[in-house]
Amino acid sequence: MKTERSILYMHILSLVPAIAFFFIYTAYDTFSIVLLLILVLLLTFNVYFYLSKKKMIEKLLLVSLVGSFFLYAFYGLGSHNVPETYSDLKDGDTVTLFSFKKPSKIDQMCYFVGINRDVHFNMEYQQGNQWKNFYAYTEKNFPYSYQWRCHKKKVMTSKILLRITRNEMMLNEVRFMYKDKVIPYRTNTKNLDDEPDTIVDKTYYTSMFFDEIYHGRTAFEILDTRTIYENTHPYLGKIILMQGIKLFGMNPFGWRMMNVMFAGLMIVIFYLLAREIFKEKHYAYTAAFLMTYSFMHFTQSRLAHIDTFGVLFVISSYLFLYRFIVQQKLSLLLISGVFFGLASAVKWSAVFASLGFVLIAFYLLISKYPLQKRFSGYKLLLYGILAYGVVAISVYGFTFYDIYARTGSIQSIIDYNFNMFNYHSGIVTTHAYSSPWWSWMLNMKPMCYYRDIKDGLFSAIDVFGNPAIFWTGFIAMLYVLIIVIRKFSLEATFILLAFLGLYLPYIFVGRLMFIYHFYYAMPFMVLGIIYLLRDITNHFSWYKKEYTLIYLGLVIALFLAFYPVLSGTPVAKPYVDDYLVWFKGWWL
């Protein structure tokens, strides 16, 4: 009954931030209302069962946590309504001519570009018998993909032409305006004025930002069988992003929604891993709570990056590895290898997990863990090579099937992988938001993906750690280290070695790094927090499990307070400066 009471208290707590979020941040849209009502209904069921002294459906709490996360993450995720039809324009093609019914005043031109490849183009307007320069675009450091761009210039003209002077681009929409009123035109190029309901909006809500211009764009290029732009990471992450584009179109919601879905699934898988390690529902749900309200997990889930897929597969791999250690069934080890192959096929950051696998194997041998005879001694290492070598590499290779289907050549897959290696080993640039590996756990330098000021309101999308999780996690991992040194227990050693395997390799990485590289190790730091909380409960009679709710309340309060700078929600700049920027290095 005590366990059920603890679960009920957690379930009640899970609803409080959802209600607060609904009234503080939403516009009372249909999706938010329906989802909140479902969350209330789920709690009502468990309250009824508890008061009736019937067995509660404890999994409803897990459903509520995932549902709450979906409420936070899907709200304001991205627009469905952006220009999607387009024309491909190339150097040497016929010029695009825009003709107005009569000479018209123009003070602004806006255009939406889909894909561009090192493109240069000029626009000229007719004045009398002469053509004069109106606008010139030259691509410089990176492509300007799936975003509105506007140019202000006052002219009076009846015709404007656009000429590609270098390479090619996908042009989706062009608008000419005077005093914010759209001026209609005729053109010899199709699809440039066929989506009048799309609004000119240069915020994250309708545009790609940061590395979305690589991953989201490449996902569409794979879908549309075009030459891909980004080839610095493996293929699988873009294949997964592509599924959202298939379902919802090439718009911000479409290229971001798969990340949200996988992040929600990550809460479930993380719950299962914590349940496997700690054996108690209370601690498993506490772990799920912390993942739900993790800043890093939330921010990374709401953009068309690929890390969330890799982190999910790494957690899944360790889940089946732990089950293998406990149950000693070969199938579980092979499944772990499959997930490791999938993780590595998303991003090479996941390959660092192999260090954890090796360290855990040596722990099992050195500690003389009671392994079945067929897994004892060198046989364990051989089975490890089978799972994380043969099986994982096979899975990894199969994820490049699209390249083979396009080229019919295995050599093209080999070349792709060598290109990735050469790219990452050759990065020597600097960045204002870069940070050293040792600073990540201390939360010293957030990474800003997006910032804007519009109509006097400030919006930003930053990735960093929930202070209540990261700073507690730092203490927790020191505690786990001490426990491993003193007791060498399976639970503590597994958590520590998995964490170190995903974290320590960055000591030797010479390339540019950011706090989001800690994303892969972060879940195991959370498990360290759970280990610390469990030991506090077990060793101090005055500390009851329910007291953990106070800590979870702090985690939730910080999430709601920092939500604007995690999500791009516009707020007054003084709120950010006065209440959220806690340290000089927090340039949010």
- Is 207 a domain residue? no
State whether 300 and 433 are in the same domain: yes
Structural domain containing residue 12: 1-75
Q: What is the CATH number of the domain that holds 114?
A: 2.60.120.260
Share of the chain above pLDDT 70, in %: 98
124-128, 141-145, 538-542 — most confident range? 124-128
Q: Do 115 and 66 belong together in one domain? A: no
- Residue 435's pLDDT band, with cuts at 50, 70 and 90, is confident
Which of residues 141 and 484 earns the better pLDDT score? 484
Domain boundary among 75, 99, 118: 75
d(CA 11, CA 39): 10
CB count in 10 Å sphere of residue 28:
9
Same domain (yes/no): 120, 167: yes
Q: In terms of domains, do 228 and 92 share one?
A: no
Q: Is residue 50 part of a domain?
A: yes
Q: What is the pLDDT of residue 142?
A: 61
Confidence of residue 54 (pLDDT cuts 50, 70, 90): confident
Residues 190, 240 within the same domain: no
The predicted pLDDT at position 2 comes to 64
Q: 177 with 136, same domain?
A: yes
**What's the rounded Cα separation, in Å, for the pair 450 and 459?**
8
One domain, residues 466 and 429: yes
| Position 426 in a domain | yes
Distance between CA atoms of 109 and 209, rounded to whole angstroms? 21
| Of 75, 107, 131, the domain-final residue | 75
The rounded mean pLDDT for the chain is 90
Q: What's residue 187's pLDDT?
A: 92
Of the pLDDT bands very low, low, confident and very high (cuts 50, 70, 90), residue 255 is very high
In a domain, 585, yes or no: no
Determine, yes or no, domain membership for 82.
Answer: no
Confidence of residue 241 (pLDDT cuts 50, 70, 90): very high
**Strand, coil or helix: what is 463?**
strand
For residue 46, give the amino acid letter: N
Token pair 């964490």 in the structure block, residue: 499
What pLDDT shows up at residue 526?
A: 97
**Length of the chain, in residues:** 588
Last residue of a domain, one of 10, 44, 75: 75
Cα torsion 121, 127, 130, 133: sign: negative
What domain count does the chain have?
4
Asked if the structure places residue 206 within a domain, the reply is: no
Q: Is 157 helix (H, G, I), strand (E, B) or coil?
A: strand
Burial class (CB in 10 A: 0-12, 13-18, 19+), 26: middle
* C-alpha 327, offset from chain centre: 33
Asked if 35 and 91 sit in the same domain, the reply is no
Residue bearing the bigger pLDDT, 587 or 97: 97
Instruction: Establish if 369 belongs to a structural domain.
Output: yes
154 with 97, same domain: the answer is: yes
Closest CA to 10 of 280, 272, 282: 282
306 and 431 share a domain?
A: yes
What are the φ and ψ backbone dihedral angles of 126, each rounded to 5 degrees? -90, 130
> Are 193 and 217 contained in the same domain?
no
What average pLDDT does this structure show over 333-342?
97
Whose tokens are 């709710």? That residue is 549
Supply 116's token pair: 């561009």
C-alpha–C-alpha distance, residues 25 and 556, integer Å: 15
Residue 588 domain flag: no
